[in-house]
Amino acid sequence: MDSSTLICQTMIAAIGEPTWLMKLWSYVQIFAGFSFIIFIHELGHFAVAKWSGVRVEQFAIGFFREIVGFTKGETRYSFNLLPLGGYVKMLGQEDFEVDTTGELQYREDPRSFANKPVGVRMAIVSAGVIMNLVLSLVLFVIIFSIGKQVQAPRVGATIPGRPAAAAGILPGDLIKSINGSSIDEFTDIPMTVMLAKPGEPLEFVIKRDGETKTINVIPEVNTKADIMQVGIASPQTATFLVVGPGYDSENPKHPRVGDTVVKMGDTEVTKDNANSMMNLLAIDPLRFSQVVVERLPITAKAETNDTPERVTVDLEPRIALRRLDTKEVTPHLLGLAPLMRFSSITPGGRADLAGMEVGDVILKWGDIENPTSEQIEKSILKPQKTDWGPTERDIPVKILKQSTGKIVNRSIRPKIKIVPILRIQKGNPTIQAQYQMFADQYLRVGSIVETMMGSETPAAKAGIPANAFITAVNDQPMQTWVQLAEALRANAGHDVTVTYNLGDENGKTATLGVPHSLRTMLGIGPASSILAVNGQERAKVERNGKTAELVVNQSLALYEALKESVGKTVEIRYRPGPLADAETKEVTITEDMLVPWVGSTAYTVDLITGGEMITLRKTNPIAAMKLGVKKTYFFVMQVYQVLERMIISRTLGVDKISGPVGIVDLGSKMASAGFVDLLWFLALISANLAVINFLPLPIVDGGLMVFLIIEKIKGSPISVRIQVATQVIGLVLIATAFLYVTLNDLAR
């Protein structure tokens, strides 16, 4: 039986570059692993064929020329040059003549595959797939008997406005089960949610402060990715892995990579509460202008047994504006839109080569002054074609350097991947950088947004122009967007005087009317959550052309819920902070409270901490087997989900899949990471092979199974013309797919 081209999509953690000898050994391991997977697959066909009395003429691992082989009995056993496939050749599988009617005339041999009953042939065909599933199960049992490092099934953060947050799940909650299915690691959570029935509540059993609680959560569909989700982020530790561009590693008062937070305010940060405290720091950083960290002393020869020192470091919160309405293009603060800056730069990428650095403020992109991230994206994606196909082009850029404070001109050339020979553009052009971060430390207005939720914005009414450099509010000096947002929130319901400079003109003023919002009336800030309006937890809204029910904490839903209550006194249930208990209060709703602008004004810090890891191990063989069955099922369903998103919903591009070259590259990295990681990868590949090989496509086992089902129904084989035509089409499709994914891998 021919096996399918291996197709796999996975993500792995970054691994340090191994030596050439280690890399060579990792390739040897992964090729040996692939060969073993294929051997098990073909062994299934071989064993059932032998058991059924079918004569097997050849049992081969790999394709092309034979490297080594031997003949035993009636079968030739061979190991061929390319070990990314294999086959079992049986008598009668291809041994036929065509008569004048064009129908198949099989040799009259009782040991011929073609002369066996349809049920027997189905068993032979499906045996390879079954063996791959069994192999995947066995590998998982071995993995979990040894133990594997995984992310803890703890809630790192709940995304405001999403189902988990609205239902009352809190950061730090340990999720024990969902709908009765045990949760052993964090990745079980999105998989269980994804496979649940749409629209039905999920029963989350959680452990919080030593108590077990049950919370019902109704997942929502992510329309962009076409999957169900509840809005839960993975857990964290208190050690910084990344610090933002606003911090100086030479300044002892600034946080550094490797620092571990040990105290926030009056609270000691421990292993048990680190996740909750780091989430609180990320969502509500205004509460913590300083934190205490432990760090190893910087010495010429620091030893691992050096005693860490405690240092108090200063933190700089930054603004993170959200869109009020899906119709809005640019997030803004009452109509004032900040400039953008680079948030990440890929080393050696186009932005890096052009001299861009993380934190650089983008003043001009091409001919666009004060560009938004959407305008930058459109400029990068703008096609430029010649008679020879797509071509790269230079884009002039003006930036304010984070490191020097000087304005410089640069030229950047977006990278375009071209399929060799065919001269076809593959994927979108990229500058290999991210630029979605607001320039918080640079209080210059990039642009003025004219309307918000159908009304004129306060900034547009005030006549504040683009390029205005804001210096004060009510004569109080302003230096950052965070300070500006807090000043406006403190003056909700009143007019304020905004002082700004414009070009050579200094000290210009404008009167800006700051509207109230539900949060300002409740006396709560951006880190709070609105849970219900008069008992209503959800509201119907028009979103992307569709009607959807969203939790009222989301801007559109809150607007709809409040719109029906203007002039009325309603009961509001809310949570003042991410770790606070829910409270209720009666509020009289007025027209100027409809736009929830405070809720769309969030703050965060440029700090990324490590993930909380645990060792997942089952010493009981039965428990290890049960976990192996679940993981095998998850991986199989994940492959089907990927295929559905690529073929039916079209929410996942085919350029995301990997072919043999990409799989070997990923596999070699997994092999370099360790034996358990290699077994994990092989279990994943085995499950993938089972699914792909049983799809109803010509050439692979699934296609032959379709022919057998049709034969069983009609009582005779399909005509030779149809069989030959489908085989040719199948060969062309698989050859094309093989060529595409291989070129895709090489381009990557």
Three-state secondary structure readout of 381-430: HCCCEECCEECCCCEEEEEECCCCCCEEEEEECCEEEEECCCCEEEEEEE
Question: Are 19 and 36 a contacting pair, CB within 8 Å?
Answer: no
Specify the pLDDT at position 204. Answer: 94
Supply the pLDDT for residue 14.
34
Mean pLDDT for the stretch of residues 114-133: 89
Contact call for residues 132 and 40 (beta carbons, < 8 A)? yes
Tokens coding 281: 């720091």
CA torsion 483-485-489-491 (nearest 10°) is: 70
List C-alpha distances in Å: 348 to 56, 351, 391, 640, 680: 54, 8, 20, 36, 31
Q: What is the CATH architecture of 340-438?
A: Roll (2.30)
Mean pLDDT of the chain: 82
- List of E strands, 455-518: 455-456, 469-473, 476-477, 495-502, 505-513
Q: What are the structure tokens assigned to 515, written together?
A: 């509207």
- Fold classification of 151-234 is Pdz3 Domain (2.30.42)
Q: Torsion over CA of 20, 23, 25 and 28, rounded to 10 degrees?
A: -130
- Supply the pLDDT for residue 31: 79
Q: Is the pLDDT of residue 571 over 80?
A: yes
Sorting pLDDT into bands at 50, 70 and 90, what band is 507?
very high
168 backbone φψ class: left, alpha, beta (φ>0; ψ -120 to 50): left
pLDDT of residue 300: 41
What is the rounded distance in angstroms from the CA atom of residue 198 to the CA atom of residue 228?
A: 7
**Mean per-residue pLDDT for 110-124?**
87
pLDDT higher for 271 or 22? 271
| CATH topology agreement for domains 237-321 and 340-438 | yes
Per-residue pLDDT, averaged over 216-228, amounts to: 74
Q: Which residue has the higher pLDDT, 395 or 664?
A: 395
- 463 three-state secondary structure: coil
Q: What is the CA radius of gyration of the chain?
A: 31
CA 500 – CA 468 distance, rounded (Å): 6
Pair of tokens at residue 10: 């996975």
CATH of 453-601, one of 2.30.42.10, 1.20.1050.140, 2.40.30.170, 3.20.10.10: 2.30.42.10
Q: Which residue has the higher pLDDT, 397 or 10?
A: 397
Q: What is the pLDDT of residue 212?
A: 93
Amino acid type, 506: N
For 345-360, what is the mean pLDDT? 90
Q: Please write the tens of the pLDDT for every residue from 551-562.
A: 788 888 888 899
Of 6-20, 83-97, 157-171, 325-339, the one with minimum mean pLDDT is 6-20
> Which has the higher per-residue pLDDT, 435 or 228?
435
**Residue entry with tokens 């959800």:** 538
Q: Quote the tokens at residue 549.
A: 């029910």
Confirm whether 42 is a catalytic residue.
Answer: yes
**pLDDT at site 267:** 92
Whether 467 contacts 445, CB under 8 Å: yes
How many helices (H) and strands (E) would you count in the chain? Answer: 16, 47
pLDDT average, residue stretch 152-175: 83
HSE-CB for 340 with a 13 A CA cutoff: 24
Amino acid at the residue 723: Q
* Amino acid at the residue 475: D
pLDDT of residue 9: 33
List CB contacts of 92: < 8 A, sequence separation 6 or more: 54, 106, 107, 109, 111, 112, 113, 114, 115
- What single-letter DSSP state applies at residue 688? H
As a whole-number percent, the residues of the chain with pLDDT over 90 amount to: 27
Phi first, then psi: give them for residue 325, nearest 5 degrees: -140, 145
Query: Is the separation of the CB atoms in 656 and 7 below 8 Å?
Result: no
Residue 215 DSSP SS3: strand
Q: Tell me the mean pLDDT in the region 658-683.
A: 72
Tens-digit pLDDT profile for residues 584-598: 999 999 988 888 999
Dump pLDDT digits (tens) for 19-46.
567 777 777 887 788 888 888 888 999 9
Q: DSSP for 616-685, please give it.
A: E---SHHHHHHHHHHHHHHHHHHHHHHHHHHHTS--S-GGG-B-HHHHHHHHHHHHHH-HHHHHHHHHHH
Q: How far is CA 575 from CA 169, 228, 552, in A?
A: 12, 25, 13
Instruction: Evaluate if residue 16 carries a pLDDT over 50.
Output: no
Quote the pLDDT of residue 8.
35
d(CA 193, CA 227): 9
DSSP character for 171? Answer: T
CA nearest neighbour of 478 among 445, 463, 457, 500: 500
DSSP strand pairing (232-233 vs 157-158): antiparallel
Question: If we measure between CA atoms, which residue out of 375, 370, 388, 507 comes closest to residue 445?
Answer: 370
Asked if residue 209 has pLDDT above 90, the reply is no
Q: How confident is the model at residue 647 (pLDDT cuts 50, 70, 90)?
A: low
Q: Please determine, looking at this structure, whether the domain spanning 237-321 carries the CATH number 1.10.3470.
A: no
d(CA 21, CA 32): 17
Residue 369 makes CB contacts below 8 A (sequence gap 6+) with 363, 466, 467
Mean pLDDT is lowest, of 179-188, 416-425, 441-450, 498-507, for 416-425
Which residue out of 17, 42, 108, 486 is catalytically annotated?
42
Return the closest-CA partner of residue 168 out of 222, 220, 208.
208
- With left for phi above 0 and alpha for psi between -120 and 50, is residue 719 left, alpha or beta? beta
Distance separating the N- and C-terminal Cα atoms of the chain: 32
**Beta carbons within 10 angstroms of residue 344's beta carbon:** 15
Q: DSSP code of 477?
A: E
Domain spans in the chain, listed from the N-terminal domain onward: 20-147+619-747, 151-234, 237-321, 340-438, 453-601
- pLDDT tens-digit series, residues 297-321: 765 444 456 688 999 999 989 998 9
Q: Which amino acid is at 198?
A: P
Contact assessment for residue 55 and residue 74, using Cβ atoms and an 8 Å cutoff: yes
* Listed range (13-17, 56-60, 177-181, 397-401) with the worst mean pLDDT: 13-17
Q: Is the pLDDT of residue 374 over 90?
A: no
Q: Is the dihedral of CA 76, 81, 83, 84 positive or negative?
A: negative
